[in-house]
Structure 1
Amino acid sequence: MSSLLRGKDFITTQDFTKEEIDLFIETAFDLKKKLARGEIHPLLAYKTLYMIFYDESTRTRNAAETGITQLGGHGIFLSPDKMQAHHGETPSDTAKVLTRFGDGIAIRHCQFGVGNKYLNDIAESAEIPVINLQDDKYHPTQILADLMTIEERFGKDLKHIKVGISWAYAESHLKPLSVPQSQILLFPRYGMDVTLAYPEGFDLMPEIVEQAKQNAEAGGGSLKITHDMDEAFVDADIVIPKSWGGFYTIDNPMEADKRKEEIMEKVREHKDWICDERRMSLAKKHSVYMHALPADRGREVVDSVIDGPHSIVWDEAENRLHTMKAIMALVMGGRP
C-alpha cells in the first residue's frame, strides 16, 4: 500500500493530482477483487474512524462503516445532537479530542454556506485525516465511485466520452449542489466532454464552474452549459439527471434554508425535467444512466429507466463501498 497519501485530508478531488486519483481508483479495483475472492484484507486493523453526520445517509454511512469493518477497523457513528457540538463546542476542540482517540474523522454536513467551512475548521485542528462524506460544495467519495463505475463500463481511456449532467425535477428536499459540482470538476480532467443542463436560475456555484472550465482546458475535456435538458442527452454515452436546490433563484443563496418554499415554487415550474424513455432515446444506443441515489422516482426519473437496461445505478452504489475503502486505506494507513 502506497504511503504517498498517508495522513492527507480528503475534502475535494481538487486537492489531488490525476495520478493520485488514479491510485485511489486502482486501489478500489484491487480491494473489490479481494472481497470477491473472499480474501481477508485488514489494512486498518484496530484503527478507528469517527463518522459525524449532520445529514441523513444510506449509501455513504454504510459504505464507510462496512468499509472500515472489512479493513479490520471500527467505525463510530456520531450524531451532532448527541455531541457537545450541540451545546456549542467548537470544531477545533472537537477535532483535538478525536485526534487523541482515533485515526480518522469522516463528516457529512450539507448546509449551504456552512458545511464545507465546518469540515475545513475540523481539518485545521485535527492531526488525523478528515474525509468529506458530502458538504455543500463537494461530494468526493461519490464522485470517485462514479469514476470507477465509468471505467468499468468504458475503460480507462475516457477521452471524448460524452456525459450529460442535468438538473431534474424533485420535491423530496433541496438537494445539495455538491454532486454535480464534483462531477464537472473531475470528469473533464479525464478528457470527458460534459454538457451541463439546468433551468435558468438553477446555477451551480460560479467559482466551481470557472474551476471546472480550467480543469477541462488542462485535461483535454470540455464543459458546455445549456438550459435545454434534451441537449444533455443527445448522443451522450452517459446521462446523469439529478435534482439540486435552486439556491440561486433567490437574491441571497445564504438564506435558502429560510426561504425553502419560495425555492420549491420555482422547482415546481419545471416538472417536465424528467428522465424518461423519450430522452434516453436521444442518447447513444450503448448509453448508461447513472444517479447517486436516492432518486425521486416518477419525478427525476421513470421506473422503466432506473430499472431498465441502461441503468447502472446499483453498480455505482456498490462501488461506494470499494472507493471508500480505498480512500481510508490510503489516507489512514500506517506502517506495518
Structure 2
Amino acid sequence: MQTIFKGKHFISLQDWTKEEIETLLEVSYDLKKKFAMGIETPYLPYKTAFLMFFEQSTRTRNSMEAGIAQLGGHGNFLDTSTMQVSHGEVAKDTAVILSRYGHGIACRNCFWEVGNKYLRDMAKWATVPVMNLQCDLYHPMQGIADLMTIKEKVRDTRNLKVSIIWAYATSHKKPISVPLTQSLLFPRFGMDVTLAYPEGYDLPEWAIKQARENAEKNGGKFTITHNMEEAYRDADVVIPKNWGSWVNNQSDKVVDDLLESYKSWKCTEEMMALANKNVMYMHALPADRGNEVEDSVIDGPHSIVYDEAENRLHTAKAVMTLTMGGK
C-alpha cells in the first residue's frame, strides 16, 4: 500500500500509479463503511478546501462540500464569476493566495483547450494539493467513483466487457472528459473496453494511444467501433453518454447537422437486450432522459446510476483525506 500522498495533486488519474489508485479505493471503501455505520471521520479537522467552479454542478459540488464537512473541515464554495478571475486575475495569483489561506484547492474548468492548462498552471504555483473537479480533458473524481462502483459489483474486473458508448443529447455540448478518463483508467484494471461513437466524435489521438498502452501493460483490451450494436452485444457494463465533437469542431453550438444525424444512438431496452443478461447501466449524470436513454432503462433493474453517484461522496472524501491530510 502506498502511504505518501500529502500535497499530491489530483488532476489526472494518469498521474497516479496503479498502487496509489488502489490505496485510494481502499480508503474510499473504509469511509463508505464508516458512513453507513454512523461512525464519525474527523480526519481533516479545521482544514479548508476552496472549491472553484467555472460551471454548474450538482454531484461534484455537493460531494465535495458534504465530504469536507464529514471530515471535520470546511468547503468554501467559489463561483468564479464573483471572483477577480472574472476580471482577468491569472491562475498563479489565485493559486498562491488560496494556498496561504487554506489546505486544498479544487477547481472545475471545462472550457476547451483552457481548463486543463489552467489547472496545471495553478498546480505549478500552489503549495497545497490542487484537485480537478472536471476539466476539458479529465474528470478523475468521476473516474475513480466509476471504478469503485464497478469493483463493488464485480470483484474481479479482468476481462470484464465494458462499453463506453456515445449517445445523442441536446442539453449542452458536453466535455469529452468522462469518456476520455474511463478509456484511460479501465484498461489499467484488466477490463476489455470498447469505445463506440459515430464518425466525427473522436477522442484525441494521444488519448487513444495511451489507452491502448494501458491495456497492453495491464492485460486489458481497448477497441474502437463506430457500430452501436456491436458495443452493446455481450457487454457486462454499458456507459452510454453524450460528448461533444470538440476534437473536430471547436464551436460551442449545441445542435448541428452532425448531431442530428445520429439521433438513433440512444440507450433503449432493445439495445440492452443485446448485452449480457446481468448487464449494468451506468451514467455520470445528469442524463438527458428521452434522448441519451429511455426512462425504462435508467429507472430499470440494470441501472446502478445512484450507487455510482453516491460513491462520488466517498471517493471525494478519500482524495481529500489522502492529499490534504496524509503522511
1:168 match:
167
Give the secondary-structure state (helix, strand or coil) at the position aligned to 1:186.
helix
* Whole-angstrom CA distance in 2 between matches of 1:333 and 1:164: 36
User: In structure 2, what residue type is equivalent to 1:288?
Assistant: M
Once the 2 structures are TM-superposed, how far is the Cα of residue 264 of structure 1 from its aligned partner?
2.7
Q: Say yes or no: does 1:142 pair with 2:124.
A: no
2:305 match:
313
1:272 match:
264
Distance 1:33 1:231, change over 3 A: same
Q: Deviations over 1:248-296 (max 9, x none)?
A: 443xx3xx23xx15x6321111100000000000000111000000000
| Residues 236, 276 of structure 2: 8 Å contact kept | yes
* Whole-angstrom CA distance in 2 between matches of 1:64 and 1:158: 28
1:193 match:
192
| Residues 202, 247 of structure 2: 8 Å contact kept | yes
User: In structure 1, what residue type is equivalent to 2:228?
Assistant: M
* Whole-angstrom CA distance in 1 between matches of 2:85 and 2:291: 36
Q: Deviations over 1:126-177 (max 9, x none)?
A: 000000000000000001000010011001x211000011000000001100
Q: Deviations over 1:94-123 (max 9, x none)?
A: 001001100000000001100000000111
2:279 match:
287
Note the 1:48-59 alignment, pairs <5 A: 48-59=48-59
1:47 match:
47
Q: Say yes or no: does 1:303 pair with 2:295.
A: yes
| Residues 49, 75 of structure 2: 8 Å contact kept | yes
Once the 2 structures are TM-superposed, how far is the Cα of residue 246 of structure 1 from its aligned partner?
1.3
Q: Deviations over 1:276-320 (max 9, x none)?
A: 000000000111000000000000000000000000000000000
| Residues 91, 122 of structure 2: 8 Å contact kept | yes
* Whole-angstrom CA distance in 2 between matches of 1:67 and 1:247: 32
Distance 1:3 1:190, change over 3 A: closer
Note the 1:239-258 alignment, pairs <5 A: 239-250=238-249, 253=250, 256-257=251-252
Q: Say yes or no: does 1:227 pair with 2:219.
A: no
Q: Deviations over 1:29-58 (max 9, x none)?
A: 000000111111100000000000001100
User: In structure 2, what residue type is equivalent to 1:233?
Assistant: Y
Distance 1:106 1:275, change over 3 A: same
Once the 2 structures are TM-superposed, how far is the Cα of residue 3 of structure 1 from its aligned partner?
4.3
Note the 1:14-53 alignment, pairs <5 A: 14-53=14-53
Q: Deviations over 1:198-218 (max 9, x none)?
A: 000100111111111110110
| Residues 213, 223 of structure 1: 8 Å contact kept | yes
* Whole-angstrom CA distance in 2 between matches of 1:195 and 1:81: 39
* Whole-angstrom CA distance in 1 between matches of 2:12 and 2:208: 15
User: In structure 1, what residue type is equivalent to 2:109?
Assistant: H
Alignment RMSD (CA, Å): 1.2
5+ long unaligned stretches in structure 1: none
Distance 1:80 1:269, change over 3 A: same
* Whole-angstrom CA distance in 2 between matches of 1:2 and 1:63: 25
1:333 match:
325
* Whole-angstrom CA distance in 2 between matches of 1:131 and 1:325: 12
User: In structure 2, what residue type is equivalent to 1:320?
Assistant: R
| Residues 167, 241 of structure 2: 8 Å contact kept | yes
1:203 match:
202
Q: Which runs of 4+ in 1 moved over 4 A?
A: none
Once the 2 structures are TM-superposed, how far is the Cα of residue 89 of structure 1 from its aligned partner?
1.0
* Whole-angstrom CA distance in 2 between matches of 1:89 and 1:125: 14
User: In structure 1, what residue type is equivalent to 2:267?
Assistant: C
Give the secondary-structure state (helix, strand or coil) at the position aligned to 2:256.
helix
* Whole-angstrom CA distance in 1 between matches of 2:177 and 2:326: 30
Once the 2 structures are TM-superposed, how far is the Cα of residue 2 of structure 1 from its aligned partner?
6.8
| Residues 292, 317 of structure 1: 8 Å contact kept | yes
Q: Say yes or no: does 1:93 pair with 2:93.
A: yes
Give the secondary-structure state (helix, strand or coil) at the position aligned to 1:247.
coil
* Whole-angstrom CA distance in 2 between matches of 1:115 and 1:272: 31
Q: What is the TM-score of this pair, normalised by structure 1?
A: 0.95
* Whole-angstrom CA distance in 2 between matches of 1:215 and 1:191: 9
2:127 match:
127
Give the secondary-structure state (helix, strand or coil) at the position aligned to 1:78.
strand
Corresponding residue pairs, total: 327
| Residues 142, 284 of structure 2: 8 Å contact kept | yes
User: In structure 2, what residue type is equivalent to 1:327?
Assistant: V
| Residues 249, 266 of structure 1: 8 Å contact kept | no
